[in-house]
Structure 1
């Protein structure tokens, strides 16, 4: 591929990686990872609420990685409450998984910035082999892609398997029991999926630019070396 087209591809991939870093950084600080509704089970059972009456006992909840908000509905009107995971909810949530989600999100930001820098370096600089050259481009994007996938898997397991919304709603609730009524991932979670897709596409762009995958290059090098040994 001509060098000008390769520069254009690397510049586009670099801008996409930089955009991913900014998007994930913004997503981490928001509370728009999960939104849903919480049913006050105790209150609904006390009055035998069904149909439209049940709406009086359905509150709302939304949260991110650090803080969130819930609205209690127990038949007496909504009561909003703000909460934070650190240090308030560490006893109630699976803390190891939650901290891992935050750490892997930070890794996505760091290596997205590294990938963006190396794309620009390969476009306008004089890269040499090893991590500054094609191998580095594949490596940084693969790390970002893998960590983005881990963030989604760990957070989804925390929410769905460990029933994170119910644990938040029932934290220090002595008189009422809350149950998840509806739940869905919000836009900040889908930003992680978008960034995962972008880094995967970046790997394809590197291949389209004419750079072989690292394991393909090693095979070709071994073959050529073996032929040279036979000649001599």
Structure 2
């Protein structure tokens, strides 16, 4: 059995990771971006209308004011609606969702490994601190990659413009001056913070050792 100190370390590791998973789930349910675009009927050069595209991970809202004629507000599901536009925005958004799912999976693995090591001798393999570091690092890195992909999708591709044109009632429109406000935050308790905090809790030294040395170490635990 591990010592009380190591048990507390592994249990606290599981709790910190569980907190990061809860924060990640909370972030997935919140507003991710809000894009405002000036709008005018095609060829008129009279940009008196606007459209605001608000995106969450799975749901969105389109709020139009004189774009191109009357306004209106409509809720939509992001992935089915993006399927009606070009391929690139849909592919990037689907990739972001898949990476977030992997973040949750690796975080769950980190929790399970931490709990397992809290009641058994810590292993210097993928079932020990190495596994915790690896899962936490992968979760943190994938979440950062997800943020980058989403920002690129909103600001670089024509996703917002394509969505506005879908709601333009089949009337050609001209769009300009796109501005985007990101609603994303990297919160304390993010998997990256979890990985860094755990890094100071374990003293892991992986080096070749004799069988006799390993047996003595196991007895010490």
Work out whether the TM-score is over 0.5: yes
Would you say 1:87 and 2:80 are equivalent positions?
A: yes
- The one of 169, 176, 201 aligned to 2:173: 176
Q: Deviations over 1:52-71 (max 9, x none)?
A: xx5xx233221123220011
> Offset at 1:148?
0.7
> Offset at 1:21?
2.0
RMSD: 2.9
Aligned to 2:126, what secondary structure does the other structure show? helix
Compare the two structures and name the one with the higher helix fraction: 1
Q: Deviations over 1:21-77 (max 9, x none)?
A: 23333443x36111132211338x84846xxxx5xx233221123220011111766
Q: 1:170 to 1:64 in 2, by over 3 A?
A: same
Would you say 1:201 and 2:198 are equivalent positions?
A: no
Residues 45-194 of structure 1: matches in 2 within 5 Å? 46=44, 48=46, 54=48, 57-74=49-66, 78-93=71-86, 94=88, 95-171=90-166, 173=168, 174-186=171-183, 189-190=184-185, 193-194=186-187
Contact 1:9 1:205 in 2 (8 A): no
Contact 2:51 2:164 in 1 (8 A): no
Contiguous gaps of at least 5 residues in structure 2: 211-221
Q: Deviations over 1:91-142 (max 9, x none)?
A: 4242221111110000111111221222233234333332211111111111
Q: 1:89 to 1:207 in 2, by over 3 A?
A: closer
CA distance in 2, matches of 1:113, 1:180: 42
- Residue number in structure 2 paired with 1:228: none
- Residue number in structure 2 paired with 1:36: 35
Contiguous gaps of at least 5 residues in structure 1: 226-232
Aligned to 1:194, what secondary structure does the other structure show? coil
> Offset at 1:154?
1.1
CA distance in 2, matches of 1:6, 1:58: 58
- Residue number in structure 2 paired with 1:24: 24
- Residue number in structure 2 paired with 1:230: none
CA distance in 1, matches of 2:77, 2:181: 20
Aligned to 2:110, what secondary structure does the other structure show? helix
